[in-house]
């Protein structure tokens, strides 16, 4: 036996790098107004790390609505969970409007996306049921799956042969236990940017009689003709049994919602533990979400400008010889090869000398020897921002190829004492 806290000294998979990364590569402080240009470590940088897809986060009309709602209601109201004392007509109005927008019968507004989808997985299955989920599912889904007391099978990412193999295993087991099958995928996978192969997954639905939960955090508001998400983009929204989206990305807020037929939503309303036993979404976020939804539905210029910038960036990267994988969404990963040490020196060069700030992904999140720089275009970026970024990436890619970043230690940095 050992002291439970002995392992804390090791820091965990990410925490072991804390001394060399915190404040710069991990837990960096981007300061100033939400915009393509923000301040980092005492310098202005061109920022590609915000999921503010439609540029609504700092839009004057949104800021005005948020400020007015806060003045009208404060941040405390309503108090308590929706079930006990925290329900309002505005929460219900938002649910109705969201459900109509994503073409579902009913909706349920939730206080926080991560915990809600984990809780949703927990509520939908019992020990007799079987879960079949994509290998690259987001951590919130993984946490929900871990709570499942029954069997779970993971299929290779977007691999339909692997999916069917695991559906057969799930079907056999479910027949023995008397349970059902829940398949979980994402509309857009946030690391690679590729859409879940939802249309292909649906082709198995009649044969294997499963239900499907789709996390459309990165698709809601940006994909499809009217922008309501990946289901619209792929023409299979009606086949999605439980649809989830967050307010934290295209709507630049907090919270989220679940949509489906009325029976499913009524069940979740009374069985979603993260909502039944937690505080309701505060009123300013509800009023703010109504305003954001109104602007998303009424003005396609935000979505059109976003995709203009996405195409400029992604085509520009490919034209200059960069590998961006299989992305077919706004998420733009730039794949490079190199060590952890090289990755830190390259990122340091980008931030300090080229003033380009984007997220860096390395081992243990991805395999050793791989580097991903994750760029998130928004409607607020300009063509000049794109060109500046492409030029910078050409310079650092050449340095990487010439082994200029091949140093034995991770990049060191000095944190400036910034004050907003």
Domain boundary among 253, 278, 298: 298
Query: What's the order of all strands across the beta sheet hosting 37-40?
Result: 30-31, 37-40, 43-47, 356-357
* Residues 136 and 225 both lie in one domain: yes
Q: Write out pLDDT tens, residues 342-379.
A: 999 999 999 999 999 999 988 777 778 899 999 999 99
pLDDT at 398: 96
CA dist., res. 210 & res. 170, Å (int)? 10
Domain boundary among 298, 320, 335: 298
Q: What element of type H or E holds 341?
A: helix 340-352
- The structure tokens listed for 196 are 């879940």
Distances, alpha carbon 130 to alpha carbons 25, 105, 120, 133, 141, in Å: 39, 26, 15, 10, 15
Q: Is 253 found in the same domain as 116?
A: yes
Poorest-pLDDT segment among 210-214, 230-234, 337-341? 337-341
Confirm whether 317 is domain-assigned: yes
Domain count, the chain: 2
pLDDT level of residue 417 (50, 70, 90 thresholds) = low
Specify if 419 maps to a domain: no
Query: What CATH number is associated with residue 218?
Result: 3.40.640.10
In a domain, 141, yes or no: yes
Distance CA 260, CA 182 (A): 15
If DSSP codes are grouped into helix, strand and coil, which group holds residue 79?
A: coil
pLDDT in tens, 100-143: 999 999 999 999 999 999 999 999 999 999 999 999 999 999 99
Residues 163 and 261 reside in one and the same domain: yes
CA 143/CA 121 separation, integer angstroms: 9
Helix (H, G, I), strand (E, B) or coil at 334: strand
Specify the CATH number for the domain of residue 395: 3.90.1150.10
Q: In which domain, by residue range, is 350 found?
A: 11-53+301-401
CB of 238 within 8 A of CB of 42? no
Report the DSSP beta bridge partners of residue 257: 109, 245
Q: Tell which of 236, 268, 298 closes a domain.
A: 298
The reply to whether 99 and 222 lie within a common domain is yes
If asked whether residues 270 and 308 sit together in one domain, one would say no
Residue 379 placed within a domain: yes
Q: How many residues are given for the chain?
A: 420
pLDDT, position 416:
79
């Amino acid at each position: 036996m050992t002291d439970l806290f002995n392992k804390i000294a090791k820091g965990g998979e990410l925490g072991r790098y804390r001394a060399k990364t915190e404040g710069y590569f991990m837990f960096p402080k981007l300061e100033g107004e939400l915009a393509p240009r923000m301040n980092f470590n005492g310098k202005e940088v061109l920022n590609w790390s915000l999921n503010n897809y439609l540029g609504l986060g700092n839009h004057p009309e949104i800021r005005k609505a948020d400020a007015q709602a806060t003045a009208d209601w404060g941040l405390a109201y309503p108090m308590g969970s929706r079930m006990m004392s925290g329900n309002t007509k505005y929460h219900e109005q938002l649910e109705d409007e969201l459900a109509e927008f994503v073409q579902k019968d009913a909706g349920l507004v939730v206080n926080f996306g991560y915990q809600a989808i984990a809780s949703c997985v927990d509520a939908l299955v019992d020990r007799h049921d079987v879960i079949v989920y994509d290998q690259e599912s987001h951590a919130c889904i993984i946490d929900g799956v871990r709570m499942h007391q029954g069997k779970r099978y993971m299929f290779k990412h977007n691999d339909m042969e692997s999916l069917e193999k695991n559906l057969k295993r799930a079907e056999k087991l479910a027949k023995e236990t008397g349970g059902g099958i829940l398949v979980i995928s994402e509309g857009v996978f946030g690391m690679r940017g590729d859409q879940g192969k939802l249309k292909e997954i649906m082709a198995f639905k009649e044969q294997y009689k499963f239900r499907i939960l789709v996390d459309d955090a990165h698709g809601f508001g940006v994909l499809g003709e009217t922008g309501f998400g990946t289901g619209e983009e792929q023409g299979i929204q009606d086949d999605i049994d439980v649809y989830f989206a967050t307010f934290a990305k295209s709507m630049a807020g907090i919270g989220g919602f679940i949509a489906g037929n009325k029976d499913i939503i009524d069940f979740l309303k009374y069985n979603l533990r993260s909502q039944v036993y937690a505080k309701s979404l505060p009123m300013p976020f509800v009023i703010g979400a109504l305003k954001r939804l109104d602007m998303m539905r009424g003005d396609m210029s935000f979505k059109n400008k976003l995709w203009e910038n996405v195409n400029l960036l992604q085509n520009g990267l490919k034209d200059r010889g960069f590998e961006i994988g299989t992305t077919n969404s706004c998420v733009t990963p730039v794949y490079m090869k190199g060590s952890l040490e090289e990755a830190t020196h390259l990122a340091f060069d980008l931030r300090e000398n080229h003033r380009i700030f984007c997220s860096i992904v390395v081992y243990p999140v991805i395999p050793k020897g791989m580097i991903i720089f994750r760029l998130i275009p928004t409607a607020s970026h300009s063509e000049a921002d794109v060109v500046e970024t492409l030029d910078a990436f050409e310079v650092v890619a050449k340095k990487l190829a010439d082994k200029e970043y091949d140093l034995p230690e991770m990049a060191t940095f000095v944190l400036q004492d910034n004050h907003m």
